[in-house]
Homo-oligomer: A and B are copies of this chain.
Amino acid sequence: MPTFPQLALPSRRVTSTDVAREAGVSQSAVSRAFTPGAHISAPTRRRVLEAAQRLGYQPNAIARSLVTQRSGIVALIVGDLHNPFYPQALSQFAQELEEQGKRALLIIHDARQDVQETLNAARSYQIEAAIVFPTRLNAAPPSLGDVSRGGVPVLLFNRHLPGHNLLSVACDNFAGGRLAAQVLLDSGAKRLAFIGGDPQTSTHQDRLAGFTERLSEAGLSPIAAPAGNFQYDWGVQATLDMHAAGEWPDAIFGANDIVAIGVLDALRHLGRRVPEEVSVIGFDDIQESARLSYRLTTIRQPLEQMIADALQVISDPQPASGPRLHPGELIWRETVRRTL
C-alpha cells in the first residue's frame, strides 16, 4: 500500500483498538502493555509496543482518568506573579509534580472573584488536589473548607488561615521574625523599624509578632511598623515616607525580600549608606537578593523542603492540625552591619 502524505488532513487520533488490530491482539492487551504492573507476557508486550510505535499511538489520559477516577492533575492556584518568590515556587512545584507523573493545572486567580468559584472550576477537571498560593488572598473565604470536605485536599502554601482548619505549609514566620530582630540587635541596632506587607496576611502578622516579641525582650519596640503590601513599590514608598517624617531607624526589617529591595533602592536614592548608617534584612531569599547590587541579608524560606512536604501532605491528607511550619535560615550577606 503506497503511503500518501497527509499534510492537509487532520490525522484521526489513533486508539488502543487501532493498535490492537495492528498487533493482532485484543484491546485489553494493549491497555495492559501500557499499564505498569499489569500481567502481560513479554512477547505480547513487545508486539504491542512496536505496533504502537508504528502507529504513533499515545494512550489517552483523559479516557484513563475517567475510568480510574484519578486524573493525575494538581491545580496550582496563584493570584499574581509580581513577587518573584512565587514563580520560583511555582516552577519547582510543577517540576516535582512531573517527576511524580502528575500534571500541574495553572490557574490564575482573579482577586475580584471568589476563590471558591475558581476552585470549583478546577474541580470539574477532577483535580486530585489544589495548592493555593495566596498572593492576593487576604481573608478566609469561609467556603474554602467545603472543597477539602468534598474529597479534594486544598493546601495553602506560605500562609495559614487562623481559625480555619485548612491544610497549610509555611515557613515559621514567627521564629523568622524573632531571628531577624536578633540579627539586627546583635549588630548594635537601637532604632528598629518593620516595613510590613499586606496586614491581613498571616505572613505579615507572624513576622511582625516575632519581631516585636524579640525586641520587647530587649526592652525595645519598633519605632515604626507601617503595613502595605508585598511589592517593590511599597518598600520604596514606605522608606521615602519615613524619611519625610524625619523618623530615622538604624535598622529595617522588610516584610519580604522584594519589599526590602525597594527599601534598599530608596535608601540609595536618599543617599543613606547600607549597612553603615542603616542595616536592612529581608525574608524569602529570592534569587534577586543575591545580586551584586543588593547582596541582601535575609531569612531564607526552605522552599525545597516546604514543597516536598506539601506534596507529601496532599498525597496522604490527614486532618489538618494547624499549619506545618518549617524554620527559616539566616543568609548572611552585606546589608547588616557586622558587629565589631
- Counting contact residues on chain A (CB < 8 A from B), the size range is 35 or more
Q: Count identical subunits in the complex.
A: 2
A66 to B61, CA, bound (A): 10
B56, B62, B149, B266: which contacts A62 (Cβ < 8 A)?
B62
Contact present for B95 and A91 (CB under 8 Å): no
A280 to B293, CA, bound (A): 17
Chain B residues with CB below 8 A from A86, complex form: 87
Chain B residues with CB below 8 A from A150, complex form: 11, 56
Contact present for B61 and A63 (CB under 8 Å): no
Please, what's the 1-or-0 string for A1-28, where 1 marks a CB less than 8 Å from any CB in chain B? 0000011001101000000000000000
Within 8 A of B (CB), among A214-271: 232, 236, 262, 264-266, 268-269
| A59, A63, A293 interface centre (most CB from chain B within 10 Å) | A293
Name the residue on B nearest A88 (C-beta): B81
Stretch in A100-108, A189-197, A204-212, A323-331 with 4+ CB within 8 Å of B: A100-108
Chain B residues with CB below 8 A from A170, complex form: none
Name the residue on B nearest A86 (C-beta): B87
Contact present for B292 and A266 (CB under 8 Å): yes
B58, B80, B105, B266: which contacts A104 (Cβ < 8 A)?
B105
Contact present for B236 and A292 (CB under 8 Å): yes
Q: Indicate whether A76 reaches chain B with its CB closer than 8 angstroms.
A: yes
Name the residue on B nearest A96 (C-beta): B108
Contact present for A149 and B66 (CB under 8 Å): no
Contact present for A98 and B103 (CB under 8 Å): no
Smallest beta-carbon distance A119→chain B, Å: 10
Check A269/B287 contact, CB under 8 A, given A81-B90, A105-B105, A126-B62.
no
Chain B residues with CB below 8 A from A124, complex form: 58-61
Q: Indicate whether A94 reaches chain B with its CB closer than 8 angstroms.
A: yes
24 sampled A-B residue pairs with Cβ under 8 A: A10-B151, A11-B151, A13-B151, A58-B123, A59-B124, A62-B66, A63-B66, A76-B106, A78-B91, A81-B87, A91-B108, A94-B106, A94-B107, A95-B110, A98-B107, A103-B107, A103-B125, A104-B107, A105-B106, A106-B106, A232-B291, A266-B292, A268-B293, A269-B292
In the complex, besides A7-B149, A62-B66, 12 extra interface pairs with C-beta distance below 8 angstroms are: A6-B149, A11-B149, A11-B151, A59-B124, A60-B126, A76-B106, A80-B91, A81-B88, A84-B84, A87-B90, A95-B110, A106-B106
Closest 5 A-B residue pairs measured CB to CB? A87-B87, A106-B106, A265-B293, A61-B124, A104-B106
